[in-house]
Structure 1
Amino acid sequence: MLKIGLLGAGRIGQVHAVNIVAHPQSELVAVSDKFDDAAQNLARVHGAVVRTSEEIIADPAIDAVLIATSTDTHADLMEAATAAGKAVLCEKPVDLDLKRAVDCLARCKPHGKPVMVGFNRRFDPNFNSLKSAFDKGEIGKGELLSITSFDPAPPPVSYVKVSGGIFRDMAIHDFDMACWIYGELPEKVTAIGSSIVDPEIGKAGDFDTAITTLEFSGGRMAVIKNSRRAAYGYDQRIEFLGSDGLLAAHNVLENTVEIITRAGATKAKPEHFFLERYAKAYQIEWNSFIEGVEGDTELPVTLQDGINALIVAEAAALSAREGRTVDVAKEIPA
């Protein structure tokens, strides 16, 4: 039984707490948050105690920590936790600054403790099945990957200003998916963006709508479409064209009922937001973390994977800013 400390009691911390408690091999023993009420409420629900992050990390009785705090704290907390001999699952991104993320890997690695980055979409059963089918050769050579990722509504501008931008904050999930499916970093990145959903997002220096094209070795490509607004719900789809066929993972709908009458056919909308859409993925993610730590095997999403996604995000941001294609190896030192 692994004793777990949860750092961060916000929305995503609450999701993780449920999965920690539900797993037969993990016990949530302590919670921290900069807002004491949030920590107290979550600890009370799950029978844990409230402590500071520093106290949790320093406690030798705690085996692992799950980091669900603000992005600017991730690297520091990972370094402190691994130095204290703890396994770590940390929400994405590693950091908003690529150099800081690379430094974090260099500082964590010597301690030899497992570190997993929370790219939860890899654990979605549909996307995971698509990846498995590709790896088995079901569509032959993969040639054109298309990823659609639309949020139902834009975040507050106050969040946008500290998020790191659409490429580091939102599209980074899709960059990780593309690298994971193809099994490598892209060679070139071209991105365009605009603020057509909310002009205030543009005034804050960010985009709310973006298209990124990734060029992989051998001429293989990926096209990623991002928007902060899809009025019908949370739109999450993948299509993958190969030499022998097509793989497709469609939206998860609110229900499976379809109404068919003389007038036509209707069915439910996509799940409204990521908490509903990826509930199962978060559960499988935690299961995978526990299996890796207890089995002393490599975790399925490494700190290097987190850096790779950030490399692509950096390239996309540079491309959109300067209106040109970016050569990743030459222009994004990591």
Structure 2
Amino acid sequence: MAYPTVRNRRLRTSAALRNMVREHAVTVNDLIYPIFVTHESNVKHEIPSMPGVFHWSLDRLEVEIQEIVALGIQSVLLFGIPHEKDAHGGPASDPNGIVQQATRLIKQWAPQLLVIADTCLCQFTEHGHCGVVQYDEAKKRADVLNDPSLELLAKTAVSQAEAGADIIAPSNMMDGFVAAIRQGLDEAGYQDVPIMSYAVKYASSFYGPFRDAAHSAPQFGDRKTYQMDPANAREAIREADSDVAEGADFLMVKPGLAYMDIVYRLRERYELPIVVYNVSAEYSMVKAAAAQGWIDERSIVLETMVSFKRAGADLIITYFAKDIASWLNGPRS
């Protein structure tokens, strides 16, 4: 007579046994917390579409940084909200720009905290695109110019490294952006500053609240000519291959939840650290549902984080980072 196995059931009978055989776990070391900084004074302004996430002015930022450090979070991703914009995103590379000022202050307050600088032009351009735009009168359309954009992005990356950024994170998706930034950093003497490439960045509908937060929505058209089609998976490998060849040190997939298969594909192919961005709408949807009492926020968030790890992510950029750190550091149930 054949008897069914009960081995797996036995390993699930107690919390201690379940913990012992758990294949994946999330730690505070896995988390990167995004911060929005602004030139204004005395600002702690909650972003309406992202409950619990704020714009911070530099004169109030230290309180936030000390809380992050106290929670054990080891890295932050900086996004700047400038007080002025121009056609070419010049304020992005200003040595006294908002990201550069914030970086210097953070390195004073918490030298051990890793500062990752977002390297893009969209927050700093009047038109909201990630590069230089030229209007073609004959075609009655505006085009993003790739190569002139690369020059500005490399200049921005160097200014961020000079300010003390530990990692440069270019999110612009221009062709050849990793090579241009790597060359710029190396020539400026920052050979040891790594590049966290937004290697696979989709033209996604999940970015809406972020564009509200960063004041970076395109003023015309969209970003589909330089961000990826959500229908394409094989293209992700081509994009990542290109960035690896150009010298990327980390590979990022953005967004996260709808693109777990892409995270897995990259994990299977590359030895580099894989980063996933748990983006703004993924955050806001959970917050909205939790506010209605429809879900258990903590359980949903922790399950999502484990799923990112299971798919192959080494690092997770998430607006939930402080919440997760509190839950992980708190009493265990």
Give your verdict on TM over 0.5: no
Q: TM-score, normalised by structure 2?
A: 0.31
Q: TM-score, normalised by structure 1?
A: 0.31
